[in-house]
């Protein structure tokens, strides 16, 4: 024991040997505090934690420097789930006595197990939340939270008490009793738990009494086996069959279950899956077919265009050949040049006959057409000259030469009906019927009203 004034160690004397203070009363007070500590310790050893807390609180009220009492109080709080209260007591204890204090080891022990400490702190937060729910009338939520709290920290007395109260409210007395018994395992003389248990006992007694003391006659439980059978009753004999329950049957049942599951998957799920895949494939095929068809159409269009282009190319090639080849404009120009040469050489017959096969409209240039027209002015004169030569040959009975002259004359001047007539007569003399008919036909076609037409008709009809 230390002096309350100077802190020096006291002896059996009623006076401090260092400062001379009277410590008689102080010693009495400290002894009283220690007595309450001893009482609290005894209660704690008997797991009367509520009673121990009461004694230790009294001890600390008398002497707040009673370190042992404070440390024990912290331990009891810790045991009841109030870890923060426990820490508070230990911190105060350490503050009063920093050396050789068990509180230091308790704090260190808690700090070293941080995970567990966090878990306990969370349970306290949940308990407080549950209390809010319960006070707010949200009992279901409160019960759910409290069940979690007591599962994590079964020694949390306050949570067990609140959960028991909520179970009592819901008339779930067996659950409430379970919570209360848990409390009494930790704190044997917990007054709240004992009161609740007594109340539950009273409620259960009343309900039992209600049934037992009812003035109505109790229902008789009918024993079916004792009722005699009547005519329409069907008697089912009691069966002796019992479900097998050994391990092999269980394994077989599991295997059968697995097989049934696999069969269900195979016959119900897989076909729909395959069907889905088939539909996807069919859609893809349709899409590709459409693309192929459009491609074919495009190919046909391009082929047709190619054919058109080739035909156009052939046509243009032919035109080019017609124009540039010996059968084209070149031929016309060559014939015109030959005619011009003959004309210059004063051979008018040759000039005219070269010119007769040229179509003036097809000549490629205006100069060529002008030259043609110049030479063509001589053609009627040449036709007359040839006709005269033909007449001379005709009267000399040289019909071959005559026919040639008349044919050339008619060719140069198609209005010269006499040339055609005597050409026909010359061929008639030569007995060349086809040529004769050809010239008679010219007369009938081009000069149907001429006097030679009747003779021409007669000859054609006879031959």
Measure the N-to-C terminal CA separation of the chain; round to a whole number of Å.
178
Alpha carbon 89 to chain centroid, angstroms: 62
Shortest distance (Å) from residue 252 CB to other proteins? 54
Query: Which span (24-32, 43-51, 251-259, 393-401) binds other proteins, by CB under 8 A?
Result: 24-32
* C-alpha span between 93 and 67 (Å, rounded): 6
If one asks whether residue 168 binds other proteins (CB under 8 A), the answer comes out as yes
* C-alpha span between 58 and 64 (Å, rounded): 10
Helix (H) or strand (E) holding 382: helix 379-395
Query: Which span (55-63, 326-334, 346-354, 369-377) binds other proteins, by CB under 8 A?
Result: 55-63
Query: Which span (193-201, 234-242, 250-258, 345-353) binds other proteins, by CB under 8 A?
Result: 193-201
Lookup result for tokens 């021409």: 456
Shortest distance (Å) from residue 145 CB to other proteins? 13
Shortest distance (Å) from residue 191 CB to other proteins? 11
Return the number of other C-beta atoms located less than 10 Å from residue 77's C-beta. 22
* Pick 203 or 277: Cβ nearer other proteins: 203
Q: What is the largest CA-CA distance in the chain?
A: 203
- For residue 383, is it left (φ>0), alpha (ψ between -120 and 50) or beta? alpha
β-strand partners of 15: 22
Residues of span 127-166 touching other proteins by CB under 8 A: 127-128, 131, 134-135, 158, 161-162, 165
Shortest distance (Å) from residue 150 CB to other proteins? 13
* Pick 134 or 382: Cβ nearer other proteins: 134
If one asks whether residue 63 binds other proteins (CB under 8 A), the answer comes out as yes
If one asks whether residue 124 binds other proteins (CB under 8 A), the answer comes out as yes
Residues of span 1-20 touching other proteins by CB under 8 A: 4-5
Query: Residue 2 phi/psi, 5° resolution?
Result: -115, 155
* Pick 121 or 320: Cβ nearer other proteins: 121
If one asks whether residue 82 binds other proteins (CB under 8 A), the answer comes out as yes
Q: Judged by CB under 8 A, which of 10, 30, 53, 363 binds other proteins?
A: 30
* Pick 2 or 438: Cβ nearer other proteins: 2
* Pick 195 or 275: Cβ nearer other proteins: 195
Shortest distance (Å) from residue 130 CB to other proteins? 10
* Pick 136 or 448: Cβ nearer other proteins: 136
Query: Which span (86-94, 343-351, 377-385, 431-439) binds other proteins, by CB under 8 A?
Result: 86-94
* C-alpha span between 201 and 214 (Å, rounded): 20
* Pick 108 or 226: Cβ nearer other proteins: 108
* Pick 8 or 317: Cβ nearer other proteins: 8
* C-alpha span between 343 and 354 (Å, rounded): 10
The number of residues that bind other proteins (CB under 8 A) is 43
If one asks whether residue 35 binds other proteins (CB under 8 A), the answer comes out as no
* C-alpha span between 2 and 16 (Å, rounded): 9
If one asks whether residue 196 binds other proteins (CB under 8 A), the answer comes out as yes
3 state DSSP class of 15: strand
Query: Which span (122-130, 369-377, 411-419, 447-455) binds other proteins, by CB under 8 A?
Result: 122-130
Q: Judged by CB under 8 A, which of 1, 19, 121, 292 binds other proteins?
A: 121
Q: Judged by CB under 8 A, which of 14, 38, 65, 330 binds other proteins?
A: 65
If one asks whether residue 61 binds other proteins (CB under 8 A), the answer comes out as yes
Give the sign of the dihedral formed by CA 446, CA 450, CA 453, CA 455.
negative
Q: Is 376 exposed, middle or buried (0-12, 13-18, 19+ CB in 10 A)?
A: middle
Shortest distance (Å) from residue 272 CB to other proteins? 56
If one asks whether residue 169 binds other proteins (CB under 8 A), the answer comes out as yes
Lookup result for tokens 């090639």: 317
Q: Is 307 exposed, middle or buried (0-12, 13-18, 19+ CB in 10 A)?
A: exposed
Instruction: List the one residue out of 428, 392, 423, 393 whose CA is nearest residue 410.
Output: 423
Q: Judged by CB under 8 A, which of 64, 291, 304, 318 binds other proteins?
A: 64
* C-alpha span between 115 and 225 (Å, rounded): 63
Q: CA 432 → CA 388, 390, 396, 428, 429, distances in Å?
A: 22, 17, 19, 6, 8
Return the number of other C-beta atoms located less than 10 Å from residue 285's C-beta. 10
* Pick 169 or 451: Cβ nearer other proteins: 169
* C-alpha span between 159 and 145 (Å, rounded): 10
User: What's the token pair of residue 134?
Assistant: 């319960």
The binding site for other proteins (CB under 8 A) comprises: 4-5, 21-22, 25-26, 29-30, 32-33, 60-65, 81-82, 84-85, 87-88, 91-92, 121, 124-125, 127-128, 131, 134-135, 158, 161-162, 165, 168-169, 195-196, 199, 202-203
């Amino acid at each position: 024991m230390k002096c309350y004034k100077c802190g020096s160690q006291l002896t059996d004397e009623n006076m401090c040997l260092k400062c001379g203070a009277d410590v008689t009363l102080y010693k009495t007070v400290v002894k009283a505090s220690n007595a309450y500590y001893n009482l609290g310790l005894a209660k704690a050893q008997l797991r009367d934690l509520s009673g121990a807390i009461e004694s230790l609180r009294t001890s600390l009220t008398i002497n707040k420097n009673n370190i042992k009492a404070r440390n024990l109080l912290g331990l009891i709080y810790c045991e009841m789930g109030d870890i923060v209260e426990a820490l508070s007591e230990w911190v105060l204890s350490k503050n009063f006595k920093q050396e050789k204090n068990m509180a230091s080891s308790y704090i260190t022990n808690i700090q070293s197990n941080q995970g567990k400490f966090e878990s306990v702190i969370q349970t306290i937060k949940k308990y407080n939340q549950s209390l809010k729910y319960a006070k707010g009338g949200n009992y279901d939520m409160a019960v759910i939270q409290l069940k979690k709290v007591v599962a994590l920290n079964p020694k949390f007395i306050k949570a067990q008490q609140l959960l028991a109260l909520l179970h009592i409210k819901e008339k779930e007395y067996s659950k409430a009793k379970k919570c209360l018994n848990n409390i009494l395992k930790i704190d044997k003389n917990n007054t709240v738990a004992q009161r609740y248990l007594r109340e539950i006992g009273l409620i259960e007694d009343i309900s039992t009494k209600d049934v037992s003391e009812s003035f109505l006659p109790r229902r008789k439980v009918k024993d079916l086996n004792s009722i005699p059978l009547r005519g329409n009753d069907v008697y089912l004999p009691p069966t002796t069959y019992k479900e097998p329950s050994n391990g092999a049957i269980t394994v077989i049942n599991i295997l059968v279950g697995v097989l049934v599951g696999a069969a269900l998957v195979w016959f119900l799920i897989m076909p729909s899956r395959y069907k889905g895949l088939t539909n996807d494939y069919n859609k893809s095929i349709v899409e590709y077919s459409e693309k192929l068809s459009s491609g074919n159409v495009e190919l046909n269009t391009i082929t047709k265009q190619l054919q058109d282009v080739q035909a156009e190319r052939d046509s243009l090639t032919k035109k080019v050949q017609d124009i540039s080849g010996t059968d084209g404009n070149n031929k016309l120009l060559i014939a015109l040049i030959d005619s011009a040469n003959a004309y210059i050489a004063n051979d008018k017959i040759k000039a005219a006959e070269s010119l007769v096969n040229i179509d003036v409209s097809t000549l490629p240039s205006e100069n060529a057409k002008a030259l043609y027209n110049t030479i063509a002015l001589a053609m009627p004169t040449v036709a007359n000259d040839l006709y005269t030569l033909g007449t001379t040959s005709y009267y000399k009975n040289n019909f071959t030469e005559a026919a040639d002259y008349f044919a050339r004359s008619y060719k140069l001047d198609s209005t010269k009906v006499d040339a055609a007539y005597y050409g026909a007569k010359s061929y008639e003399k030569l007995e060349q019927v086809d040529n004769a008919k050809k010239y008679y036909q010219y007369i009938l076609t081009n000069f149907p009203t001429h006097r030679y037409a009747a003779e021409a008709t007669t000859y054609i009809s006879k031959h």
